[in-house]
Amino acid sequence: MEVVQSHRKSSSNNVIVSILPLYRSAPPLEVRLEDFEFFAMDRLRVLKGISDGLCRGKKPEEMEKLVVDLWKANMRHPQAVEEVNKDIISHFVLRLVYCRTEELRKWFLSMETTLFRYRFCLKSSEAQRALMSEFKLPYKAVSNAEFESVKDNLGQVARSMGQTLAAADAIFYKVPFEEVPDLVAGRRVFIHKGHAYVAMNQVVSLVVTQFRSFLSKALILTNRKWTSTIREQEKDRLTPIVEALCTSYQGPDYSQPQEFGEISIKDIDQVAKTSFPLCMRHLFEKVKEDHHLKHGGRMQLGLFLKTMAWCSCLMGVGLKLDDALAFWKAEFAPKVSAERFDKEYAYNIRHNYGREGKRTDYTPYSCQKIISVTPGIGDHHGCPYRHFSEENLRAALVRMGVSSRAVEDVMDKVHNRHYQLACTLTFEAVHGSSCDAGINHPNQYFIDSQRVLQSKNGSVA
């Protein structure tokens, strides 16, 4: 797969067309640089959606519908051949993105395997058998004579799952039991002399095991190639894209609001208590307490305040530049003189508003970016769900009004490293309202909070 600046060759003759791609080797395509990134972003939306669904404990039938909806919303293309291309290209781009650390590899492997599982299950029996053939699985269907000898046992297993044994033309495979651990653990197969009898509608477990094994090895090999050659060779072109993709944000753009309004500094204390997510509330409390924040904290909180939404009817009311300067100057005053503030801090605030330097209107940080940072000693930015000690996090949640039972649910997500879901559960506990979309951005938390409070009180809190 070669990345080019302006064009991509594609035809049915040079595309690996499969009922369901197995991603054995990179496709012989030339890919436009913008497609390299956009295709990956679209697939990442699918994988993130799957991750959220799994973390929320969705049932298999709910997950199947979710995968279908996510794929339709993000991976479809008017031309069938281009859809296949997008599927394969996006997988290999994200393989490059997520090969770089053990944690990234583990997440990508889990999400891609889950995606493959549900896509396989949606195929016809004929297509599934074709895929089994592509994997060259060394299993043969059980003969009629052997089927008859174990038919009663197979029937008992089927009935235990609320099913009936398939008709006379049912296909079963006899495989070593250790190759289908999920089926064995769920008591969904008959085991005899070290072998499990796997029905045709269960062969997804066999195929997924092979797929996961292959992809796991491929990620290790990709990491070696990335480290030894690709990263340096592409340092001015692909490397910045690859390194940014795993923390990229795919939600609404809070940096360019449709309307602008004003928010008084006197209102901030109240809305910080009612509608700030924990990461911003902690920073806000610290600047009030210490009268200072290091650069990382000033950036994280400052950009949030800049684009903070005020109510459901105004999509972009935030703190104006003059008020932002006044806010930071007042909070720093006990430790920083007015002259020093103007000399050392005012420039950076104006810079964030696009009034200095490159004149870039900087965007507020997404949850993914906040989670990915590593605060140093004396820093207060980052994600509290990831960086706080358990004791400090529990105390912070209680101060926000989270009940004891809800705190345990939040901590369960934290222990499993589902930090955004922990924030979502916090939102739901504080507001007594569901947040099905999940929290993906601090400004989203604020907007949704204000909407809930407005609907409950008839006015913005």
Read off the pLDDT band of 17 (50, 70, 90): very low
3-class SS at 314? strand
Q: Could you tell me if 234 and 368 lie in one domain? A: no
Read off the pLDDT band of 19 (50, 70, 90): low
Is 311 annotated as a binding-site member?
Answer: no
Non-local (6+) Cβ contacts of 46 within 8 A are: 67, 70, 71, 74, 75, 115
Q: Which residue's entry shows tokens 């559960």?
A: 425
- Residue 128 domain-assigned (yes or no): no
Taken in order 53, 383, 363, 430, the sign of the CA dihedral is: positive
- Residue 127 domain-assigned (yes or no): no
- Residue 252 domain-assigned (yes or no): no
What Cα–Cα distance (Å) separates residue 291 from each residue in 333, 337, 349? 7, 12, 16
Cα dihedral 67, 71, 73, 78, rounded to 10, equals -150
Q: How many CB atoms lie within 10 A of CB 244?
A: 12
Given this model, what pLDDT does residue 88 score?
Answer: 92
| 191, β-bridge pairs | 196
Q: Could you tell me if 269 and 354 lie in one domain? A: yes
Q: Could you tell me if 337 and 449 lie in one domain? A: yes
Q: Could you tell me if 108 and 139 lie in one domain? A: no
Non-local (6+) Cβ contacts of 3 within 8 A are: 30, 31, 32, 33, 36, 237, 238
Non-local (6+) Cβ contacts of 288 within 8 A are: 331
- Residue 260 domain-assigned (yes or no): no
Separation CA 422–CA 434 (nearest Å)? 13
Q: Could you tell me if 106 and 67 lie in one domain? A: yes
Separation CA 315–CA 293 (nearest Å)? 28
Per the structure, how many domains does the chain have? 3
Q: What percent of the chain has pLDDT over 90?
A: 40
- Residue 347 domain-assigned (yes or no): yes
Is 55 annotated as a binding-site member?
Answer: no
- Residue 285 domain-assigned (yes or no): yes
Separation CA 139–CA 209 (nearest Å)? 14
Domain stops at, among 202, 235, 253:
202
- Residue 159 domain-assigned (yes or no): yes
State both tokens at 421.
Answer: 């879901």
Is 313 annotated as a binding-site member?
Answer: no
What Cα–Cα distance (Å) separates residue 108 from each residue in 35, 113, 241, 371, 451? 20, 8, 17, 17, 34
Round the average pLDDT of the chain to a whole number and report it: 83
Q: Could you tell me if 382 and 241 lie in one domain? A: no
pLDDT in tens, 294-348: 999 999 999 998 876 443 333 334 678 888 899 999 999 999 999 999 999 999 8
Write out the H or E segment, with its range, that includes residue 174.
strand 172-176
Q: Could you tell me if 332 and 365 lie in one domain? A: yes
Read off the pLDDT band of 250 (50, 70, 90): low
Is 367 annotated as a binding-site member?
Answer: yes
* Residue 158 lies in domain: 133-202
Q: Quick one: which of 279, 366, 379, 261 has its CA closest to 323? A: 261
CA-only gyration radius of the chain, Å:
27
Separation CA 360–CA 140 (nearest Å)? 63
Domain stops at, among 177, 202, 227:
202
Given this model, what pLDDT does residue 385 score?
Answer: 96
- Residue 34 domain-assigned (yes or no): yes
Contact between 417 and 51 under an 8 Å Cβ cutoff? The reply is no
pTM tops 0.75: no
3-class SS at 81? helix
pLDDT in tens, 204-224: 888 888 899 999 999 999 999
Q: Could you tell me if 228 and 366 lie in one domain? A: no
State both tokens at 212.
Answer: 């996961």
Amino acid in position 217: K
Q: Could you tell me if 304 and 197 lie in one domain? A: no
Question: Which phi and psi (to 5°) does residue 24 adopt?
Answer: -70, -35
Q: Could you tell me if 238 and 271 lie in one domain? A: no
Q: Could you tell me if 35 and 171 lie in one domain? A: no
Given this model, what pLDDT does residue 218 score?
Answer: 95
| 27, β-bridge pairs | none
Q: Could you tell me if 48 and 184 lie in one domain? A: no
